[in-house]
Amino acid sequence: MNTNVNINSEANTNANKQRIQIFDTTMRDGEQSPGASIDSGRKIVIARQLAKLGVDVIEPGFAISSPGDFAAIQHISREIQTVEIAGFARCVKADIDAAVRATVDAARRRLHLFISSSDIHLNFQIRKSREQVIQIARDMISYGKQFVDEIEFSAMDSTRSGRDFVIELVEAAIDSGATVINLPDTLGYAMPHEVEDLFRTVRRQARGADRVRFSAHCHNDLGMAVANSIAAIRGGATQIEVTVNGIGERAGNCSLEELVMAIETRQEALQAETDIVQSEIFETSRLVSRTMRFPIAFNKPIVGRNAFQHESGIHQDGLLKNRNTYEIMDPEAMGIPRSMIILGKSSGRHAIKHRLSEFGIIVSDEQMQGVYEKFIAAADEKKIVTDSELIRMAGEATETQPDPFVLVDLQVISGTQRGRVASVTIRDDSGQERSYSAVGEGPLEAVIRCIQQAIPAEAEFEDLELHSLSTGEDAYGEAVVTIVYDGQRCRGTSIHRDIVLAAAQAYVAACNQAIMGGAARPAADQQAAASEQSAV
């Protein structure tokens, strides 16, 4: 009897959750980030991924702005038939005409019209009176309604506008045929309680508000875009406008991945849910970052490099016993490779021993002491100790070569008038050394071609990150190489003052990880299963 009560209670709770539509404007508002433009050919690639991610609406660009944007919107409208496409336009006939033509082949489409509502915009930018703005909104919504049933109206800078005027403008928009009302925090100025109150008040006082849906579009100038979007949901918004990685003008927009995971993680508190496919979050983030050449901050929530990594020995010990001790989300559910333990000077012996075991390396307590002493000395100098360095330390302690392959020597010749030539010497685990040479358009390409001849692992070179870890002539550079091997992503890291050498070592480390990880994976899986069983 008690079981039935619990099941019914859970069903009722789920039924009460409000589904929040995710409106993605990465390719329109996000592209307005300085230095983050996308050519029309790459927009379709992002649109396909957004469709896989499960967004409800895609705003692919601003049709009137350029022939390239028009073509991209047209292409996306024709190909992406499972997602609603929004044509963005000012309250100007030429904008509306361009948006209508660009989206004509979409299976589902809407017009997204906007005009300013704050006095500072009216007086100094568009130089219109409030009465003129209301009339323009009425006329242009009515004009757009001839072509499209679904019209979203945005009262730009709503949070800095007079409340009574916003209500009057919203009533005019609804009366003219708008079906979605967006109240943007265009300058990221509002506080969460102000946003919640704005939505509650407009929904309660504007005539016809019960016939339309409400949307929020929040910027991050004060770092509150996600908090303000959640406040809008509490105030009755059922659509949130977001960008992947939070890109956008100035400090950016509400981050898609942060908002979605806040809703997912705190469903019971918010009584809300989305249809986003969590497993596609990480891939979407990486794609947008690479395509727009817009790096992701290390400490970026959800998708940042450090978001699920831990260096503190206390945290590492807790994680090894139960992941829930220091993690509130499962990174693997979002497609994020599991690499929670970062080895630095705060790490303890348990974490070091655990990392070595992942590569099938077992050390005695006596050998562990030697490894730990070398580890602390290296961590004091470089802050982070890479997997390849740790494996080398273990090899010295056990007088073996745990790594399948070791980069012994590297030479590169570069010049302005010729191709780059590289030669490398690689030692395998039998102790035999062989040399290889290759050419490439750049020194790194030449080096990678050399190494690929030496290592019989058919791995796809997927990504390279280069970071400066300090300043000055003696600065260390960190290289992070990601490869795909046997369907698994493997990442190698190396730190050196020579960035080409660091990249080469990182590539070898990634290949070694792929080879050793494949061999050690069954044992690691058994160990993980045993740990989970004992926890139960």
DSSP string, 326-365: T-SS-GGGGT-----B--BTT--HHHHHHHHHHTT----H
- What six digits make up the tokens of 507? 């590539």
Domain map of the chain by residue range?
16-291, 313-400, 405-523
Task: Check residue 405 and give left, alpha or beta (phi > 0: left; psi -120 to 50: alpha).
Answer: beta
Closest Cα partner for 302 from 414, 250, 226? Answer: 226
Architecture of domain 313-400: Orthogonal Bundle (1.10)
**CA pair distance 474, 470, nearest whole angstrom:** 8
Q: Are 110 and 151 in contact (CB under 8 A)?
A: yes
pLDDT of residue 338: 60
Cα-based distances in Å from 74 to 49, 54, 86? 17, 20, 11
Cα-based distances in Å from 174 to 132, 150, 206, 207? 17, 12, 9, 8
pLDDT of residue 340: 52
Residue 459: DSSP 8-state: -
pLDDT of residue 343: 66
pLDDT of residue 361: 81
pLDDT of residue 380: 77
Written out in words, the top-level CATH class of the domain with range 16-291 is alpha beta
| Bridge partner residues of 425 (DSSP) | 409, 435
- What six digits make up the tokens of 224? 């509150």
3-class DSSP state for residue 192?
A: helix
Secondary structure of 231-247 in the HEC alphabet? HHHHCCCCEEEEEHHHC
Q: Looking up tokens 């950016």, which residue turns up?
A: 252
pLDDT of residue 512: 86
Residue 365: count other Cβ atoms within 10 Å of its Cβ: 8
Residue 384: DSSP 8-state: B
Distance of CA 427 to the CA centre of its chain: 38
pLDDT of residue 317: 59
Which residues have a Cβ under 8 Å from the Cβ of 279 and sit 6 or more positions away? Answer: 333, 334, 335
Q: Give me the average pLDDT of each 10-residue run along the chain (536 residues).
A: 45 74 96 79 94 98 94 97 98 98 98 97 95 98 98 98 97 98 98 98 98 98 98 98 96 97 95 97 93 87 78 57 75 75 67 76 84 81 73 79 87 83 92 93 91 85 80 77 83 85 91 71 41 38
pLDDT of residue 23: 98
Phi, psi of 413 (to 5 degrees): -115, 120
3-class DSSP state for residue 266?
A: coil
Positive or negative torsion for Cα 454, 457, 462, 465: negative
Q: pTM of the entire structure?
A: 0.80
State the number of CA atoms in the 13 A half-sphere of 473 facing the CB: 0
| Bridge partner residues of 112 (DSSP) | 88, 152
pLDDT of residue 198: 98
Q: Where is 216: in which H helix or E strand?
A: strand 213-217
Secondary structure of 58-106 in the HEC alphabet? ECCCCHHHCHHHHHHHHHHHHHCCCCEEEEEEECCHHHHHHHHHHCCCC
State the number of CA atoms in the 13 A half-sphere of 403 facing the CB: 26
Domain 405-523 has CATH 3.90.1150.10: no
pLDDT of residue 183: 98
pLDDT of residue 353: 80
Residue 182: DSSP 8-state: E
pLDDT of residue 174: 98
